Amino acid sequence: MMASHRFVTEQFTALHAGATAGLPSSATRAKGTARRASCGTPRRPLDSARRAAESFPALVFTACALLAVVLTIGTAAPVFAADEPTFEAGFAKQDITPPVGMPMWGYGDRHADLSEGVLDPLWARAVVLRAGDDKLALVGTDLGRGPTIAMMEVIRDRLRSEAGIEHVIISGSHSHHGPVIELTDRPGYGAGKFDVAVQYAKELPGKLIDLILAADAQLQPARLGVGIKNVALNRNRHTKRQPKSTEPMLAVVRFDATDGSPICVLVNFAAHPTMIESKILKYSADYPGAMHKAIADELGIESMFMQGAAGDQSANPPQGTSGHEQFGAVLGREVAEIARSIETAVPAEPSIVGQVDRFTFGSRIDFNNPWIEVAYGRAFFPELIKNFAEEMKGGVPAELNTVVLNGEIALVSGSGEYFCNHSNRLKERSYLPHTLFFGYANGHNLYFPTIEAVSEGGYGADPPVSPVELGAGEQMMNQALINIYTLTGQIAPPPRVPSGDAASATSD
Ligand SMILES: [Zn+2]
């Protein structure tokens, strides 16, 4: 079953031009209609003025921005920013280790076997960033996947109302030794049989909200710097075709206070945390947990991990090392070396702009067919599949987030397991100084293989674990690229035509 997708776009942009003119400083502060303003805005007032003088598209673009400002008036109390927005960062972490007695996430062959202990605790770590009135929350958890769609709605609503945080990216490290978080409080969906897991899932959004609010409370003027190193620490586990693609980028973003004291480092790397046997029924963060420990040992600072496009990537321990602890230690020492070499600086022009795109892709698997549900229920376990299939019955509900930080760093996330060439190609086509990709974020729609990977077939590319329509990942990366250039004011946003799916989608 193939169907073209429709998508919903929410664009949150900082109207610093408005702030300069004494107008409301940010569309993100406006509740309701203006939040969905379809006009993009330049990230910098000087840029917008210069571009307006230079080209007609820029004039249209600026007019669009002004219209968005006008729309904002009357829908929200004006918020006045300081002349120069400051850049701030705050970090917090929270132990989210579940009680034992829950089904574990990741390996089908465990079915509903319950966890029996803890190898090492599971954590969620958050950094909140602020530029003027705009805030971004990035969260890395030791869970198998990002929160469910229903959880994300709760989380977003509260962060928006309680802390003015519009941009939220919450990822799972994809540890296969975390808990199942999908079960819900209904007969057949988990209630009665897996009450411990249902309770954990109920409490998880609140825990993540508290964590992010704690990071928000730690906001302080900050400096940042980015360090990138290509490493040979992952390998392609899917293809037999040469050359076997990998994503070698190990990216480290270091946040320091203005006096140079460390706040945290963010690590972005792509490799499956599947280094512990499935039959071991104990919680573990897998290699990212060992990585955090090594970074703390080397540098004495906090770190957070955002998994990359690991759909076809496994860990590749160097010769003489094996197991999640040794591999995590190797990775952590690499991170520490990169972090030491980074010179942080106060951003010259702080800004946070972003966009959420929600797609409903066609599915190659018919989740409305009860026999399909039975088959998946046998492969995993029925209660998990009932919850999962419920999300997929109307199509594959993928989410793409694109955030541009300080006009220089693109942070792109997708709700599933993306093959590495999606990320490699996005980075190749993005001319920003830095582009990072996070998988397993804000939902989970299984694998997004590349088109050529589907042509080869195999695990991760075939429909059973990759129901999404052919080419979905490419469509998302194209959208991310358009977002990057519209958010930085380098191309005008495409006009919104009020007809067909797009209209119905944007008005819901
Ligand atoms: Zn996986």
Residue 81 CA to residue 131 CA, distance in Å, equals 10
What is the distance in A from the centroid of ligand 1 to the CA of 270? 11
What is the distance in A from the centroid of ligand 1 to the CA of 465? 9
Alpha-helical runs (H) found in 218-286: none
What is the distance in A from the centroid of ligand 1 to the CA of 349? 38
What is the distance in A from the centroid of ligand 1 to the CA of 94? 24
Q: Are 228 and 434 in contact (CB under 8 A)?
A: yes
Tell me whether residue 149 is in a domain. no
What is the distance in A from the centroid of ligand 1 to the CA of 418? 9
Residue 272 CA to residue 419 CA, distance in Å, equals 11
What is the distance in A from the centroid of ligand 1 to the CA of 417? 6
What is the distance in A from the centroid of ligand 1 to the CA of 175? 9
What is the distance in A from the centroid of ligand 1 to the CA of 409? 26
What is the distance in A from the centroid of ligand 1 to the CA of 143? 12
Residue 450 CA to residue 454 CA, distance in Å, equals 6
What is the distance in A from the centroid of ligand 1 to the CA of 439? 10
What is the distance in A from the centroid of ligand 1 to the CA of 106? 7
Half-sphere exposure of 485 (CA within 13 A, CB side): 16
What is the distance in A from the centroid of ligand 1 to the CA of 109? 14
**260: exposed, middle or buried (Cβ count in 10 Å: 0-12, 13-18, 19+):** exposed
Nearest to 267 by CA among 125, 106, 148: 125
What is the distance in A from the centroid of ligand 1 to the CA of 310? 7
What is the distance in A from the centroid of ligand 1 to the CA of 163? 33
Number of compact structural domains in the chain: 1
- Alpha carbon dihedral 412, 415, 421, 427, in 10-degree steps, equals 0
6-39 b/e (C-beta count within 10 Å ≥ 16 → b): bbbbbbbbbbbbbbbeebbbbbbbbeeebbbbbb
User: Which pLDDT belongs to residue 273?
Assistant: 98
What is the distance in A from the centroid of ligand 1 to the CA of 116? 22
For the record, the structure tokens of 47 come out as: 């840029």
Tell me whether residue 461 is in a domain. yes
Element (H, E) at 500: helix 500-506
Tell me whether residue 231 is in a domain. no
What is the distance in A from the centroid of ligand 1 to the CA of 288? 15
What is the distance in A from the centroid of ligand 1 to the CA of 154? 26
Which residues are paired to 447 by β-bridges?
417
Which residues are paired to 402 by β-bridges?
355, 412
User: Which pLDDT belongs to residue 495?
Assistant: 78
Q: Are 255 and 219 in contact (CB under 8 A)?
A: no
Tell me whether residue 188 is in a domain. no
User: Which pLDDT belongs to residue 290?
Assistant: 98
What is the distance in A from the centroid of ligand 1 to the CA of 188? 26
What is the distance in A from the centroid of ligand 1 to the CA of 201? 20
pTM: 0.85
Domain containing residue 394: 6-84+348-506
Tell me whether residue 322 is in a domain. no
Mean pLDDT by 10 residues, the chain (508 residues): 48 34 28 27 34 34 34 35 81 98 97 98 98 98 98 98 98 98 98 98 98 98 98 98 97 98 98 98 98 98 98 98 98 98 97 98 96 96 97 96 98 98 98 98 98 98 97 98 97 72 34
Tell me whether residue 355 is in a domain. yes
Tell me whether residue 130 is in a domain. no
SS3 94: strand
For the record, the structure tokens of 188 come out as: 């057949």
CA distances from residue 474 to 4, 86, 364, 424, 470 in whole angstroms, order as listed: 13, 36, 16, 12, 9
Angle at 152 between CA 92 and CA 444, to 5 degrees: 100
For the record, the structure tokens of 385 come out as: 């599949």
User: Which pLDDT belongs to residue 494?
Assistant: 74
Taking each helix axis from N to C end, the angle separating 323-341 and 287-299, rounded to the nearest 10 degrees, works out to 40
What is the distance in A from the centroid of ligand 1 to the CA of 182? 16
What is the distance in A from the centroid of ligand 1 to the CA of 416? 9
- DSSP E strands in 416-472: the ranges are 417-418, 434-438, 447-448
CA 280 to chain centre: 28
What is the distance in A from the centroid of ligand 1 to the CA of 144? 8
User: Which pLDDT belongs to residue 13?
Assistant: 39
Q: Are 39 and 493 in contact (CB under 8 A)?
A: yes
Tell me whether residue 64 is in a domain. yes
What is the distance in A from the centroid of ligand 1 to the CA of 77? 45
What is the distance in A from the centroid of ligand 1 to the CA of 444? 11
Residue 149 CA to residue 142 CA, distance in Å, equals 18
Residue 293 CA to residue 332 CA, distance in Å, equals 8
What is the distance in A from the centroid of ligand 1 to the CA of 266? 21
User: Which pLDDT belongs to residue 11?
Assistant: 53
SS3 10: strand
DSSP character string of 136-187:
EEEEEESSSSPPPHHHHHHHHHHHHHHH---EEEEEE---TTSB----EEEE
CA distances from residue 175 to 60, 260, 281, 293 in whole angstroms, order as listed: 47, 33, 13, 16
Element (H, E) at 43: none
Ordered strands of the 434-438 beta sheet: 6-12, 352-361, 396-405, 409-414, 434-438
For the record, the structure tokens of 505 come out as: 């989608």
Alpha-helical runs (H) found in 318-440: 323-341, 370-379, 382-392, 420-429
